Structure 1
Amino acid sequence: MKEVTNIQELDQFLQENPEAILFKHSTTCPISTQAHDEFMKYADSGAAKPWAMVIVQTARPVSNEIAERFGIKHESPQVLYVKNGTVAWHTSHWNITQDNLSKNAV
């Protein structure tokens, strides 16, 4: 797992991985805890694209940059599937499931 803590790390991660998943996670939200569990099932399945996590409490500027850069309203938890510099798919909250990720982050 790669945790992105600043905008430079975000830029580097996306440059190195033109197809990647960004997972915005809140460490204080029970919905985000459930989404994290589902996301980790997906990540551990072996089907996952390169991915990085943004902890919104400690990396708010990164979370805000992602929302601004891609034009996707911030939510937490939130998953964005980035392909060649644009968001190909995104979802949030209870829709973050292993099944949804496996079907849509392809």
Structure 2
Amino acid sequence: MKWTLLETTDQLTRIKEQQGYSLIFKHSTRCSISMMAKRRFELDWENLPENMPLYFLDLIQYRDISNHVAQLFSVHHESPQLLLIKDGECILDQSHGEISVDETMSEIN
């Protein structure tokens, strides 16, 4: 699996308009908890559907996009944070130690 870097608000618009599932992982490059959550997620991500788009947002570099994510998908900003998007709506919002491939797959199944 591979991350797609989330660097523009146009990408968010496309995610919002896309049918099916997408994941957005909001990561603080300055936070050890965020690094641990990302690493733990990546250890299990082969259990996700192979064709699911995975977006990675560097919160430090793209703070304005992070704010736009919160507004567009009606979620409270947290870091780290994983959002499961289905048909343009956030159906699962996980943060910190709650970030889990298993819980994400439970929501998909």
Query: TM-score with structure 2 length normalisation?
Result: 0.83
Shift of residue 19, structure 1, vs aligned partner:
1.6
Counterparts of 1:105 and 1:37, CA distance in 2: 21
**Higher alpha-carbon deviation: 2-11 or 95-104:** 95-104
Q: Is the 8 A contact 2:17 2:87 kept in 1?
A: no
Residue 68 of structure 2 is aligned to residue 71 of structure 1: no
Shift of residue 21, structure 1, vs aligned partner:
0.6
Residue 47 of structure 2 is aligned to residue 56 of structure 1: no
Residue aligned with 2:25, SS: strand
**Higher alpha-carbon deviation: 5-14 or 18-27:** 5-14
Residue aligned with 2:67, SS: helix
**Deviation beyond 6 Å, 4+ runs, structure 1:** none
| Number of the residue aligned with 1:29 | 31
May I ask how many residue pairs the two structures share in their alignment?
A: 106
Shift of residue 67, structure 1, vs aligned partner:
0.2
Counterparts of 2:19 and 2:92, CA distance in 1: 16
Q: Is the 8 A contact 1:17 1:50 kept in 2?
A: no
Identity %: 27
Q: Is the 8 A contact 2:80 2:95 kept in 1?
A: yes
